Amino acid sequence: MLEIKGLTKNYGRFTAVDGLDLTVEKGEIYGFVGPNGAGKTTTMKIICGLLPVDKGQVRVAGIDVT
């Protein structure tokens, strides 16, 4: 399961992700769709542990990756 609560990531004055809440249960499949600059890549990098968050929490299979 993936749980994201209040995820926020800023690059200087630019907010890439603002207060994202998302829960994906085991067996569910989702796609990230949106325009350039919507925060899709930033969110995925945070989920993978490649970027730190400014605010919020990400848990993958119950493990905090933030």
pLDDT digits (tens, 9 = 90+) for 9-18: 999 999 999 9
Structural domain that includes position 18: 2-64
Number of domains in the chain: 1
42: CATH = 3.40.50.300
Rounded CA separation 38/27 (Å):
26
Check: CB of residue 46 under 8 Å from CB of residue 10.
no
pLDDT digits (tens, 9 = 90+) for 25-60: 999 999 999 999 899 999 999 999 999 999 999 999
Check: CB of residue 60 under 8 Å from CB of residue 2.
yes
pLDDT > 90? residue 66: no
Three-state secondary-structure class, residue 14: strand
End-to-end CA distance of the chain: 15
